[in-house]
């Protein structure tokens, strides 16, 4: 069982790394190959195609491989005095070939290739990179840099293990949702999920098994969410689900928020084929939602965390009336026995989902 889990974890890490950093073959496209004796005049005709940015040159009767960039050919044909074309038109392609191009393996990481490309001399720094394989291909330096920047941006907002948004990204999205509901009849819902016993699971079965469990939970959670909802990893063993409810009354909102919580838990119930039932963890959950048209991300998170913490040390209690969390309402004060309790609509949620 452990061998199977290890293989699944390794496979997912490889796929995740490929998505995040990328391999150069994902950016490469086929390139034309010519012999070194071809006249430069014929080479110029090939570059009339706007999609041709470079041409690979294979030395006739030799072993060298070179490249000709469009920019390099244009500069050569222009010449210092404007006579380049007349001088070179009938000369072999080898006369304008760069015989020291940068050549990489198809599965080299984009990050490594981009770094090497930018370390080249100034006159060749932005030349295409040749990708060796069954057929020659090339990747532009511009595409390499764009992919690298996108990967770095993704790494800053997504957890590299589960591929879910990070804590900062999740709470930023929550704050944005809270801004959008102001003055409307909509509400924001936060569901918190805590994976119980992760430390013991790691200690007993190893971190590879624990990582596989978390990756599986994240995949099933995000894949089974209703449209408009989003999930994030907000701690090592804690996840959050965010949603916005359409206009509805308090009773309907309570039912919808709890339905979302139960829906998420149902998608996570029981192990998958990659994880044995003996190591599949239990989940503890809480749910909070705002009043219509007003929401505070700080209050929602604080209340959801508080309920999740309280649920850890108490048994399930009989259901009590649930009301929306109103960030504008004052904190409830203990009422004297003879006094009438405050209006329930001003009280924060009490029951842990």
Short-list 230, 193, 195, 225, CA closest to 212: 195
Q: Is residue 331 part of a domain?
A: yes
Residues 210 and 338 in one domain: yes
CA distances from 164 to 72, 169, 234 (A): 44, 9, 9
Residues 79 and 186 in one domain: no
Residues 280 and 180 in one domain: yes
How does pLDDT run across 241-260, given as a tens digit for each residue? 999 999 999 999 999 999 99
How far apart (Å, rounded) are the C-alpha atoms in residues 147 and 21?
8
Say which residues have a Cβ less than 8 Å from residue 322's Cβ, sequence separation at least 6. Answer: 254, 258, 349, 350, 351
Q: What is the residue range of 100's domain?
A: 22-152
The pLDDT value given to residue 278: 64
Token readout for 348 is 């924060």
pLDDT of residue 19 exceeding 90: no
How far apart (Å, rounded) are the C-alpha atoms in residues 192 and 241?
7
Residues 175 and 147 in one domain: no
Residues 36 and 142 in one domain: yes
Query: Domain ends where: 129, 152, 175?
Result: 152
Short-list 175, 174, 196, CA closest to 285: 196
Token readout for 312 is 């850890």
- Residue 201 sits in a domain whose CATH number is 3.30.70.270
Q: Is residue 179 part of a domain?
A: yes
Residues 297 and 235 in one domain: yes
Say which residues have a Cβ less than 8 Å from residue 149's Cβ, sequence separation at least 6. Answer: none
Residues 219 and 127 in one domain: no
How far apart (Å, rounded) are the C-alpha atoms in residues 60 and 290?
74
Total number of domains in the chain: 2
Are 162 and 218 in contact, with CB atoms under 8 Å apart? yes
Token readout for 166 is 């990070």
Q: Is residue 10 part of a domain?
A: no
Residues 171 and 285 in one domain: yes
Q: Is residue 4 part of a domain?
A: no
Are 88 and 96 in contact, with CB atoms under 8 Å apart? yes
pTM greater than 0.85 (yes/no): no
Residues 32 and 75 in one domain: yes
Query: Domain ends where: 122, 152, 182?
Result: 152
Q: Assign 168 a pLDDT band (cuts: 50, 70, 90).
A: very high
Q: Is residue 17 part of a domain?
A: no
Q: Is residue 325 part of a domain?
A: yes
Q: 192 forms bridges with which residues in the sheet?
A: 240, 286
Residues 81 and 129 in one domain: yes
Q: Is residue 105 part of a domain?
A: yes
- Residue 130 sits in a domain whose CATH number is 3.10.580.10
Token readout for 260 is 């979302």
The pLDDT value given to residue 138: 96
Query: Domain ends where: 152, 182, 199?
Result: 152
Q: Is residue 146 part of a domain?
A: yes
Characterise 271 by phi-psi region: left (phi > 0), alpha (psi -120 to 50), beta (else): beta
How is 285-317 classified by DSSP, letter by letter? EEEEEBBTTB--HHHHHHHHHHHHHHHTTS---
Please tell me the chain's helix, strand, coil percentages from 3-state DSSP, rounded to the nearest 5: 45, 20, 40
Please compute, for residue 123, the number of CA atoms within 13 A of its CA located in the half-sphere on the CB side.
4
Residues 122 and 175 in one domain: no
How does pLDDT run across 102-155, given as a tens digit for each residue? 999 999 999 999 999 999 999 899 999 999 999 999 999 999 999 988 888 888
Residues 31 and 135 in one domain: yes
How does pLDDT run across 256-310, given as a tens digit for each residue? 999 999 999 999 987 766 666 667 888 999 999 999 999 999 999 999 999 998 8
How does pLDDT run across 181-192, given as a tens digit for each residue? 999 999 999 999
């Amino acid at each position: 069982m452990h061998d199977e889990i290890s293989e699944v974890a390794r496979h997912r890490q490889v796929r995740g790394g490929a998505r995040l950093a990328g391999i150069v073959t994902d950016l490469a496209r086929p390139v034309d190959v010519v012999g070194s004796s071809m006249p430069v005049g014929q080479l110029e005709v090939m570059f009339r195609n706007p999609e041709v940015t470079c041409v690979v040159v294979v030395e006739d009767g030799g072993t060298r491989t070179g490249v000709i960039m469009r920019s390099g050919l244009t500069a050569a044909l222009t010449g210092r005095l404007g006579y380049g074309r007349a001088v070179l038109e009938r000369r072999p392609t080898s006369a304008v070939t760069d015989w020291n191009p940068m050549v990489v393996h198809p599965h080299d990481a984009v990050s490594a290739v981009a770094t090497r490309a930018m370390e080249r001399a100034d006159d060749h720094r932005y030349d295409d990179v040749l990708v060796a394989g069954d057929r020659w291909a090339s990747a532009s330096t511009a595409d390499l840099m764009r992919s690298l920047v996108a990967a770095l941006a993704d790494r800053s907002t997504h957890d590299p293990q589960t591929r879910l948004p990070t804590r900062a990204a999740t709470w930023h999205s929550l704050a944005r949702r809270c801004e959008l509901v102001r003055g409307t009849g909509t509400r924001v819902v936060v569901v918190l999920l805590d994976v119980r016993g992760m430390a013991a699971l790691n200690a007993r079965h190893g971190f590879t098994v624990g990582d596989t469990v978390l990756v599986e939970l994240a995949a099933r959670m995000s894949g089974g969410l209703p449209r408009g909802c989003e999930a994030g990893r907000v701690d090592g063993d804690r996840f959050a689900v965010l949603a916005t409810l359409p206009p509805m009354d308090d009773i309907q909102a309570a039912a919808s928020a709890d339905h979302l919580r139960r829906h998420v838990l149902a998608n996570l119930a029981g192990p998958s084929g990659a994880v044995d039932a003996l190591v599949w963890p239990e989940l503890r959950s809480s749910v909070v939602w705002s009043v219509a048209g007003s929401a505070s991300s700080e209050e929602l998170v604080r209340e959801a965390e508080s309920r999740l913490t309280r649920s850890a040390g108490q048994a399930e209690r009989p259901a009590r009336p649930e009301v929306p969390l109103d960030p504008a309402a004052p904190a409830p004060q203990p009422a004297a026995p003879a006094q009438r309790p405050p209006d329930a609509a001003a009280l924060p949620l009490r029951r842990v989902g």
